[in-house]
Structure 1
């Protein structure tokens, strides 16, 4: 019997650990080196973005439903776990067949390189960090595998063990493995610190003052916020505003380097700079944004005061040609949204926004310029980091999510929700105060009703209407709450007299619908 088999098979964990350490070196060194290249050169970010690109609509919706705004963190955790398992398997394969293991690493590097190049603004030079990381990772794999073999050989059952030699071999392997991990992780931290020092976009944003608005919104009336405990305030603070997008690595664009190309089926193509944009007659507008993945009772919705320039004026300058019916807006990172042309040219305040709640757009909300459009879900309108507007036709072009099965036009559905008390809450007997928000964009909410158990519908108190494009808070007090388990249901009516549909629908493909109903206990 070949003595090599028992020598190596007694310590398989060493080979798996060698594979994991090699993967650490590959990804961490590539990430560290990517600081000297474009943001898109990070292989892990590129791979994650490729996975998002090919994620079916139902799976994307499930992830957002389950993890909300932590969906990207979940993706990175899954990628890390899968990468660690695969790396361990590659290490075990290297024990038997190093050539096959090297081939697998080469295949992985190829996939990562293709992911990097799949970015719309990537170039061949952006693959350099991946290639260098793969070379370093392979070097660590070969070296640690050899050390593991020597450690196993020194402990062979078929020879008289030499404690000194065995201990030295084991220490060498452990030092090599821990050293690889100890060097790789801090390298990423140092590189990210250097990237932060390199990146002047945050500094430019912090130093940037908002230009004055030509058209200001009036001061909020006192009744705009009912101040019910547990209910979202009328204005959502920037740091609490939901973020759902496809960007794993946020584009960082300085105001002076930003420009917008307007082209396609137009009489006059032109390019707009940031200075030219903010020199125009900017307007303020309160607008509630809703993600299409939002459940009837969900929190992927927020209200803010936006500052920007009307898109109808941009398109008026371009003069769309007859037959055009869509504007394809494209982000710096390649995301695109298809917005009906008529929505951007009517009287609603669809904006090229530069400000949010009295400050420049936050980096993760599209700085320096994004699109906001009343009446449409964000996936067909709210393009962040926008750099391109193409006037075209629905039959000729498809946007990012519409090409993945979501509805073409994405009209926001009327909705209402109970925010207080929460589902399955226990409240004291006597008086129970219910509260929540409702919206019917471009039309406005005129009435909200609450039903306790199967009793009659009772009209709730509404906050003062600010704009038809924003949500309204509502409040209802059940004064004679009786002990036991109960349900509460809410429904809304818009200013046109239309009642919110009771028919339930999932978010995909065009937004959720149905009446929000919850259970609670009075004790």
Structure 2
């Protein structure tokens, strides 16, 4: 007959494992309660959003570029999943500690809650009230942990079937609490997504523009399977920003403040902005994090008020050379003053492709500026324009090693074929190649293509809509030989400058180099 200590050893190991599970479940309760309550507060009052936002603020540019190059627009999802894994590991360790020392474990869980509350307060759009969701989540989670640990640690007589059943029922209860917490958190996320959808379909009538964008000729679109649409649909437009949760902006209380080195400060509400004379503009936006050949660029038709109209009304003082735009979530961009006051149509935009701005693209108001990367110009959820000087103010990314002014470099890419794709010759033994190029404010004058190590060949250009939109190109390769090949593309802009072959990483002022794709003819 085995000794009592031998009979109890498996039970102790089981209790230790269930204690870890209890820690994870209590952590889930904290997050679930906070997520549900955050629906009544700002979008960044949820603890994961606040913690993730703080992490994004401190991450070096090189790490940011690496993540975007690996995951693209799924970078935020990857960040959230990583935080979930780390949080689960921490709460499991807290639970394991609670198997023998429940009170210190409870104190550590409370400490995680306090840390989250501190980070909630660091978010620009939050007030002291926005800690309430995490505070209540912590207040609920700590006694939940102690209760679950007590259940796990309760002795169960080995030879008493009734006591064993009671213990199993208690452990099933732990699983049920965890499941309810997951469902509650998922429900909160679902409600948030539904609210964002409601904002995307907000029913207000866009103003009739004073001048409409020029019609897009049919031959601007290269008719080749695999080519992107000339106008990027709203739902497919790339999104790169620092907001882990889309800010909740009420247009009825929204205001834009224009101040700094101006003759008179201006403040206007959304109704006043909509009453301003507006124009439409076809414009390609590009992210500075876009690698050579990347897809972090999109072309849309924007509706808005020229920024220079409002700056002229405010009266810019001598010596100013920069406008610091600010988002409701605290993001700032340093835009050279001349880019907002010269002949280009920089806009305070309210519409995108004939619809109100989608929530994830800046609803209700954002900036779009031709010729500059988004990190110095395309501020979403805009609330403030400060006329200032580069010598006096710095913006979000310029404090993190990126250049201050961010002019867009000449870019070209191969869209057809895709990397390591296959092309089949037509009846005449030819294959079609195609792609996209842009050089805002200069336009694209010529595209050249090199197949393998051969001579450069001039490609056919689709119709240019404006110098601020991308241009599509195509090339018919006669007598395409079966086998493996490469295609390289380079562009010449409207001022005669040839795109450089010198490779450069996105940081600190945008990627450069020729795009090459390897493919097969079958």
Shorter-chain TM-score: what band?
over 0.9
Where in structure 2 are the equivalents of 1:103-502 lying within 5 Å?
103-150=107-154, 153-154=155-156, 161-175=159-173, 177-191=174-188, 202=198, 206-429=202-425, 430-502=429-501
Tell me by how many angstroms 1:252 deviates.
2.1
- Distance (whole Å) between structure 1 residues aligned to residue 193 and residue 449 of structure 2: 50
Partner residue of 1:36?
40
Tell me by how many angstroms 1:111 deviates.
1.1
- Distance (whole Å) between structure 2 residues aligned to residue 188 and residue 491 of structure 1: 49
Tell me by how many angstroms 1:39 deviates.
2.3
- Which digits, 9 at most, give the CA deviation of each residue in 1:66-119, with x for residues without a partner? 111111111111111111111111000111222321221122112101111011
- Which digits, 9 at most, give the CA deviation of each residue in 1:22-50, with x for residues without a partner? 00111101111222323232111111111
Secondary structure (helix, strand or coil) at the match of 1:330 reads strand
Change (3 A) 1:294 1:516: same
Unaligned runs of 5+ in 2: none
Change (3 A) 1:465 1:200: closer
How many residue pairs match? The answer is 515
Secondary structure (helix, strand or coil) at the match of 1:390 reads strand
Unaligned runs of 5+ in 1: none
- Distance (whole Å) between structure 2 residues aligned to residue 124 and residue 491 of structure 1: 53
Change (3 A) 1:318 1:448: same
Tell me by how many angstroms 1:454 deviates.
1.1
Change (3 A) 1:90 1:463: same
- Distance (whole Å) between structure 2 residues aligned to residue 275 and residue 122 of structure 1: 25
Contact in 1 for aligned 2:460/2:474 (Cα 8 Å):
yes
Change (3 A) 1:201 1:275: farther
Contact in 1 for aligned 2:15/2:99 (Cα 8 Å):
no
The ranges of structure 1 where at least 4 consecutive aligned residues each deviate by more than 6 angstroms after the TM superposition are 1-5, 193-197
Contact in 1 for aligned 2:417/2:517 (Cα 8 Å):
no
Partner residue of 2:506?
507
Contact in 2 for aligned 1:375/1:412 (Cα 8 Å):
yes
- Which digits, 9 at most, give the CA deviation of each residue in 1:314-370, with x for residues without a partner? 111111222211111011111111101111111101000111111111111111110
- Distance (whole Å) between structure 1 residues aligned to residue 191 and residue 14 of structure 2: 44
- Distance (whole Å) between structure 2 residues aligned to residue 292 and residue 193 of structure 1: 31
Secondary structure (helix, strand or coil) at the match of 1:83 reads helix
Contact in 2 for aligned 1:35/1:192 (Cα 8 Å):
no
Secondary structure (helix, strand or coil) at the match of 1:450 reads strand
Tell me by how many angstroms 1:280 deviates.
1.6
Pick one of 24, 28, 32 that aligns with 2:28.
24
Tell me by how many angstroms 1:202 deviates.
2.9
Segment drifting more, 34-43 vs 137-146: 34-43
Change (3 A) 1:245 1:200: closer
Secondary structure (helix, strand or coil) at the match of 1:71 reads helix
- Distance (whole Å) between structure 1 residues aligned to residue 14 and residue 203 of structure 2: 62
Secondary structure (helix, strand or coil) at the match of 1:254 reads coil
- Distance (whole Å) between structure 1 residues aligned to residue 162 and residue 216 of structure 2: 80
- Distance (whole Å) between structure 2 residues aligned to residue 86 and residue 195 of structure 1: 27
- Distance (whole Å) between structure 2 residues aligned to residue 38 and residue 423 of structure 1: 42
Contact in 2 for aligned 1:201/1:252 (Cα 8 Å):
no
Change (3 A) 1:424 1:344: same
Tell me by how many angstroms 1:378 deviates.
0.4
Segment drifting more, 365-374 vs 58-67: 58-67
- Distance (whole Å) between structure 2 residues aligned to residue 125 and residue 22 of structure 1: 23
Change (3 A) 1:191 1:72: closer
Tell me by how many angstroms 1:200 deviates.
9.8
Tell me by how many angstroms 1:61 deviates.
1.1
Does residue 57 of the first structure (1) align with residue 61 of the second (2)?
Answer: yes
- Distance (whole Å) between structure 2 residues aligned to residue 200 and residue 290 of structure 1: 24
Secondary structure (helix, strand or coil) at the match of 1:491 reads strand
Contact in 2 for aligned 1:309/1:353 (Cα 8 Å):
yes
- Distance (whole Å) between structure 2 residues aligned to residue 407 and residue 314 of structure 1: 27
Change (3 A) 1:479 1:196: closer
Tell me by how many angstroms 1:189 deviates.
4.9
Tell me by how many angstroms 1:133 deviates.
0.8
Tell me by how many angstroms 1:193 deviates.
6.5
The normalised TM-score by structure 2 is 0.95
- Distance (whole Å) between structure 2 residues aligned to residue 300 and residue 485 of structure 1: 28
